[in-house]
């Protein structure tokens, strides 16, 4: 066997091994087919139920997606899961031509199917970037949040163009008590914190955040400054992170 053949076989082996040991997410969306409602749909072709009907065809065709042009309704869509769940993450599939209007979309949480009022509901998270290409985009909820039964999707900025998507999915945690803290280096959540304190280390800040069951935290190593955010409910959007070289943002995710 030549060296080249040996290297190819080794690469194939490691590729197969990696594919074998990476577990696939076998969970199914708990939102598919559930009762949904929204601000005024564009017309009968793009009703609320087409946003979670299990049709993943990403097309502008009638009955294939949800869409709204309701400039007075807040550009929102919501689904009742039928029971309360500890939400792990939400996935949204784009509609051709409407990708950019979905940029920085907000995922909210509630317990009733009442009309959405911006900045009043619990926040799961906000997509951190612009959406320029067709595909599907995920938002992870904070692992510190309690169980909820209603998921809200809302355009980040009112009246910024037609709000729509082909399909959405919701995945609940199999183990609500299992979590891991993940750092976003050199970024900071620029909101008024629930509590601010000086700590000796990031570990001490994490402990304080865990005791408070907070949504996320900022930590500055040089200043030993710890900023805790218990909840973003009632806090005005946006909720995406801002570049700041002196700070790191930490958020607990469900495993």
Q: What is the CATH number of the domain that holds 108?
A: 2.60.120.260
Predicted pLDDT at 147: 96
- 203 burial level (CB within 10 Å; 0-12, 13-18, 19+): exposed
226 with 115, same domain: the answer is no
Mean residue pLDDT across the chain:
88
Per-residue pLDDT tens digits for 141-157: 999 999 999 999 999 98
Q: Is the pLDDT of residue 65 over 80?
A: yes
Say if residues 242 and 129 touch (Cβ distance below 8 Å): no
The domain that holds 187 is classified in CATH as: 3.50.4.10
Q: Which two tokens stand for residue 167?
A: 């399909």
Q: What is the pTM of this model?
A: 0.86
Stretch 4-29: mean pLDDT = 45
pLDDT(140) > 70? yes
Measured between alpha carbons, how far is residue 238 from residues 49, 103, 155 in Å?
Answer: 27, 12, 11
- The full length of the chain comes to 255
In a domain, 16, yes or no: no
The burial class, CB within 10 Å (0-12 / 13-18 / 19+), for 92 is buried
For residues 158 and 184, state if they share a domain: no
| 141, β-bridge pairs | none
Confidence label for 6 from pLDDT (cuts 50, 70 and 90)? very low
194-200 mean pLDDT? 95
**Is 160 found in the same domain as 189?**
no
Whether the per-residue pLDDT at 99 is higher than 60: the answer is yes
Task: Tell me the percentage of the chain whose pLDDT exceeds 90.
Answer: 74
Number of structural domains the chain divides into: 2
Q: What are the structure tokens assigned to 32, written together?
A: 């598919």
Task: Count Cβ atoms below 10 Å from residue 159 Cβ, excluding itself.
Answer: 12
Q: In the structure, how many helices (H) and strands (E) does the chain have?
A: 2, 15
- Domain termination residue (choose one: 130, 151, 172): 172
pLDDT of 30:
98
CB count in 10 Å sphere of residue 149: 19
Here the tokens at position 227 are 């900023």
Report the pLDDT averaged over residues 6-34.
54
Are 187 and 102 in the same domain?
no
Residue 204 lies in a domain: yes
Task: Tell me what pLDDT residue 207 has.
Answer: 95
Q: Are residues 168 and 213 in the same domain?
A: no
pLDDT at residue 64, as a whole number = 87
Full domain range(s) for residue 44: 36-172
């Amino acid at each position: 066997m030549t060296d080249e053949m040996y290297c190819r076989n080794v690469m194939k082996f490691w590729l197969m091994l990696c594919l074998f040991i990476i577990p696939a997410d076998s969970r199914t969306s708990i939102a598919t087919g559930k009762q949904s409602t929204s601000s005024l749909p564009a017309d009968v072709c793009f009703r609320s139920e087409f946003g979670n009907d299990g049709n993943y065809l990403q097309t502008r065709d009638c009955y294939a997606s949800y869409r709204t042009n309701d400039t007075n309704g807040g550009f929102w869509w919501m689904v009742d899961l039928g029971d309360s769940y500890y939400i792990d993450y939400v996935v949204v599939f784009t509609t051709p031509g409407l990708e950019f209007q979905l940029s920085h979309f907000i995922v909210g949480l509630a317990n009733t199917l009442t009309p959405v009022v911006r900045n009043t509901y619990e926040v799961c998270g906000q997509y951190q970037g612009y959406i320029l290409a067709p595909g599907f985009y995920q938002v992870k909820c904070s692992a510190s949040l309690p169980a909820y039964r209603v998921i809200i999707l809302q355009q980040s900025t009112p009246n910024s163009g037609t709000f729509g998507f082909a399909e959405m999915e919701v995945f609940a945690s199999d183990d609500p008590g299992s979590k891991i803290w993940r750092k976003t280096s050199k970024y900071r959540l620029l909101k008024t914190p629930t509590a601010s304190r000086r700590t000796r280390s990031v570990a001490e800040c994490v402990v304080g955040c865990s005791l408070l069951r907070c949504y996320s935290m900022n930590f500055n190593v040089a200043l030993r400054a710890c900023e805790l955010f218990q909840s973003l409910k009632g806090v005005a959007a946006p909720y995406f992170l801002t570049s700041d070289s002196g700070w790191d943002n930490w958020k607990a995710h469900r495993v």
